[in-house]
């Protein structure tokens, strides 16, 4: 089944404790992206990647890192999480930059 998977689905952590949210797709997509969703703000892009070893900042990159060592994986790293990073996070992928994106199920992160 074609899908985007994210882990974990739910995470509660404390300020400053490094964490990684994994994302994997099995559709051989070139383009992958991370979004955060907050009430009243819709989806905002954090980082995106157009291919292996090619990543770039989206609209709200501060406090986040990503890597794209393999085509299928695009982990999101929070080196020192803060409470303002409490949010719902989505990973997405597509064949091309402006094409339909396929979304993962989301990761709900709470930073205390």
Contact residues toward other proteins (CB under 8 A) are 4, 31, 33, 35, 40-43, 45, 48, 50, 56, 58, 90, 92, 96-106
Nearest distance in Å: CB 96, other proteins: 7
Nearest distance in Å: CB 85, other proteins: 19
Nearest distance in Å: CB 41, other proteins: 6
Contact 5, 104 (CB under 8 A): yes
């Amino acid at each position: 089944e074609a899908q985007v998977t994210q882990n974990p689905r739910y995470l509660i952590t404390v300020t400053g404790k490094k964490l990684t949210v994994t994302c994997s797709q099995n559709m051989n997509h070139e383009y992958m992206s991370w979004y955060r969703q907050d009430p009243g703000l819709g989806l905002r892009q954090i980082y995106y990647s157009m291919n292996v070893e090619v990543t770039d900042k989206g609209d709200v990159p501060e406090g986040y890192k990503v890597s794209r060592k393999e085509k299928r994986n695009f982990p999101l790293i929070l080196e020192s999480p803060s409470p303002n990073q409490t949010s719902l996070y989505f990973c997405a992928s597509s064949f091309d930059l402006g094409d339909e994106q396929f979304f993962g199920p989301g990761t709900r992160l709470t930073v205390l």
